[in-house]
Amino acid sequence: MTRLVPPPLSLYVHIPWCVRKCPYCDFNSHATRGGESHIDYTRTLLADLDGDMADFADAIAGRALTSIFFGGGTPSLFAPALIGRILDGVAARLPLASDVEITLETNPGTVEHGRFADYLVAGVNRLSFGVQSFDDAKLRRLGRIHSAAEAESAIQLARRAGFDNFNIDLMYALPEQDLVGALADVERALALEPAHISHYQLTLEPNTLFAAKPPPLPDDDDAWSMQEACQARLAEAGFAQYEVSAYARDGRRSRHNLNYWTFGDYLAIGAGAHGKITAADGIRRRWKTRHPRAYQEAADHAARIGGDQPVPESERGFEYMLNALRLIEGTPLADFSPRTGLHLSAIEAPRREAIDRGWLLDDAHRLRTTDEGQRLLNDVTALFLN
């Protein structure tokens, strides 16, 4: 064992409600019924944060938040004043880095005219638009509540309000999609001049409507052709791929997601939210009660916690590699021991095997996949399973 060194610290805030549950979504999200109190949930979030801060007081003492991420669900269902109240409450409890990144996920169908300027005033400095496609037929098939025109209008409104740092989420390999359609979505996104694009393949996740009733999806070869062609177009447009599904202009990588992928720490508040904290005596994962009502009813006591357990030494190497190898540039080899508490010898045998197979670069300074390793990433990370 080596000494654990606390990594950067982030905060994840989960807003669990959506206008409608999408058939492909396996996140902890619930269709709104109109009777939820956003004010009460805001109070619950801050009470939850108070509880975590008390429990992890020694581990987080003196550490500033480098990023805050509002995810969901659909955080843009919450009025800017409530997002501001949450951010003010966080700032009153924890120090924020001078350049803290604060991201709000938004559904283009839930943001009214004028709201973006108010989100900016509240402290949000980065937006993530869940567009998924600019093809209206595909959007209907995905169960989205917005049209392509509404997505473009929302993004243009955000830009006029002062946001220049925003992400567009796009999916490919959609039901009955072809290569031309996948590239057309990328072109529509590029025309809106985002700073960041998340481009990921639609997959059938367990316990979703699509898993129970699978739509006709492109086969693996067609999906791979879409991925390669879209990667090339994004690169041509100046978007560097830095993670399996993430592309950014210079200086606009998602700091919050990078913290996940480099085995950083994150407090997590909200129904079903998952966090990870490094302390002197080990690494802990904590998650919250999933259902919003049960979570809120337990706001002031331990029942809000759905689970809390240490990350065993035997699992840390795999968890680190599972995240780090998603990064195209990999991570410094020197980060492994301080972030896992393990000696490099813990992963030397599988690392050497991956190098011999041509999946990892034989680099004394970085953990980084080859091009083949990136294509076979699941096989590479499986080598590090204990």
Do 235 and 348 reside in the same domain of the chain? Answer: no
**Using CB atoms within 10 A of its CB, is residue 189 exposed (0-12), middle (13-18) or buried (19+)?**
buried
In a domain, residue 295? The reply is: no
Q: What is the pLDDT along the chain (386 residues), one digit of tens a residue?
A: 789 999 999 999 999 999 888 999 888 888 888 778 999 999 999 999 999 999 999 999 999 999 999 999 999 999 999 999 999 999 999 999 999 999 999 999 877 667 999 999 999 999 999 999 999 999 999 999 999 999 999 999 999 999 999 999 999 999 999 999 999 999 999 999 999 999 999 999 998 999 999 999 999 999 999 999 999 999 999 999 999 999 999 999 999 999 999 999 999 999 999 999 999 889 999 999 999 999 999 987 889 999 999 999 999 999 999 999 999 999 999 999 999 999 999 999 999 999 999 999 999 999 999 999 999 999 999 999 97
| Sign of the C-alpha dihedral computed for residues 324, 328, 334 and 335 taken in this order | negative
Do 147 and 248 reside in the same domain of the chain? Answer: yes
In a domain, residue 299? The reply is: no
Neighbours of 136 (CB within 10 A): 14
In a domain, residue 280? The reply is: no
* CA–CA separation, 126 and 131 (whole Å): 16
Do 243 and 370 reside in the same domain of the chain? Answer: no
Do 254 and 339 reside in the same domain of the chain? Answer: no
In a domain, residue 122? The reply is: yes
In a domain, residue 329? The reply is: yes
Number of domains comprising the chain: 2
Do 207 and 99 reside in the same domain of the chain? Answer: yes
Are 168 and 195 a contacting pair, CB within 8 Å? no
In a domain, residue 383? The reply is: yes
In a domain, residue 291? The reply is: no
Q: How far is CA 171 from CA 17, 84, 134, 201, 371, in A?
A: 21, 30, 10, 5, 22
Q: How far is CA 106 from CA 34, 174, 201, 287, in A?
A: 18, 21, 20, 23
In a domain, residue 272? The reply is: no
CATH code, domain carrying 115: 3.20.20.70
**Using CB atoms within 10 A of its CB, is residue 309 exposed (0-12), middle (13-18) or buried (19+)?**
exposed
> Of 259, 275, 290, which closes a domain?
259
Task: Domain of residue 339: give its range.
Answer: 314-386
> Of 195, 230, 259, which closes a domain?
259
Long-range contacts of 290-297 (CB under 8 A, 24+ apart): 290/28, 291/30, 292/16, 292/17, 292/30, 292/36, 292/41, 295/44, 295/270, 295/271, 296/40, 296/41, 296/44, 296/271
Do 20 and 129 reside in the same domain of the chain? Answer: yes
* pTM of the full structure: 0.96
* CA–CA separation, 290 and 293 (whole Å): 9
CATH code, domain carrying 374: 1.10.10.10
